[in-house]
Amino acid sequence: MMSAGKVLVLHGPNLNLLGTRQPEIYGYETLEDINNGLYEKAAVNGWDIECRQSNHEGELIDAIHAARQDGTVAIIINPAAYTHTSVAILDALNTFEGKVIEVHLSNVHKRESFRHHSYVSLRADGVIAGLGSQGYHAALDALIKTAE
Ligand code: DQA
C-alpha cells in the first residue's frame, strides 16, 4: 500500500512516566501502549507514523524542524507542561506548514488555572483535551478522514 502521509507524534516532558505518573489523572496505559496503538492504526490505514518523546524543549523543537523537511504532513503534539510556558515551541510550530493537533490526556480546563492557557493553541488546527489516550486516536482518525 502506498503511504497516505507521514505523521509525527510528539510527547513532551514527563510523559515517559505514563502508567505510573499520577494515574488517576493520566491513566494506567504506558507511553509504549499508546504509541503501539497509534502505530497499528497508522499501518492499517497506510500512513507512516513516528512517535517521539522528550523531556527537553530543544529536542522537541529540533523534531519539529526535522518534520519541515522530511515530508511530514501533520504533527500531533502533547507538549505537556511546555504547553503553558513555551513560546519557543509555538514559534517552531509556526514554521511548520502541515496540520497541527494539540492533545492533552487530562481536561486542562478543569484543573489549575495555569493550565488553562496554551501557547500551542495559538497555532493548533485542532485541540483535544480530557479524553485520555483516546485523544491521540481521535487526532489520528481526524487526519486520516480529512485526507480521504
Ligand atoms: C498534559 C497537561 C499538562 O498541563 C501537564 O503539564 C502534562 C500533561 C496532559 O496531557 O493532560 O504534563 O499535557
pLDDT reading at 3 higher than 70:
no
Global confidence as pTM: 0.96
Range 142-147, long-range pairs (CB < 8 A, 24+ positions):
142/101, 143/5, 143/7, 143/47, 143/73, 143/74, 143/76, 143/99, 143/101, 144/4, 144/41, 144/45, 144/47, 146/99, 147/4, 147/5, 147/73
pLDDT reading at 91 higher than 80:
yes
Of 112, 110, 135, 143, which Cα lies nearest the Cα of 29?
135
90 confidence band (pLDDT: 50, 70, 90): very high
4 confidence band (pLDDT: 50, 70, 90): confident
- Separation of 13 CA from ligand 1 center, angstroms? 9
Each residue of 11-43: pLDDT tens digit? 999 999 999 989 999 999 999 999 999 999 999
Report which DSSP code applies to 87: H
Name the CA radius of gyration of the chain, rounded: 14
- Separation of 42 CA from ligand 1 center, angstroms? 24
Joined grid coordinates for residue 115:
493550565
User: Which residues touch 141 (CB under 8 Å, ≥6 apart)?
Assistant: 41
H or E segment to which residue 75 belongs: strand 72-78
Cα distance between residue 73 and residue 56, in whole Å: 23
Pocket (CB within 6 angstroms of ligand 1): 14, 78, 80-81, 83, 104-106, 108, 115
Q: What percentage of residues in the chain have a pLDDT greater than 70? A: 98
Mean pLDDT computed over 48-71: 98
Mean pLDDT computed over 70-99: 98
pLDDT reading at 2 higher than 80:
no
* 78 marked among binding-site residues: yes
Please report the pLDDT score of residue 1 as a whole number: 45
Catalytic sites, residue numbers: 26, 104
Displacement of CA 116 from its chain's centroid (Å) = 18
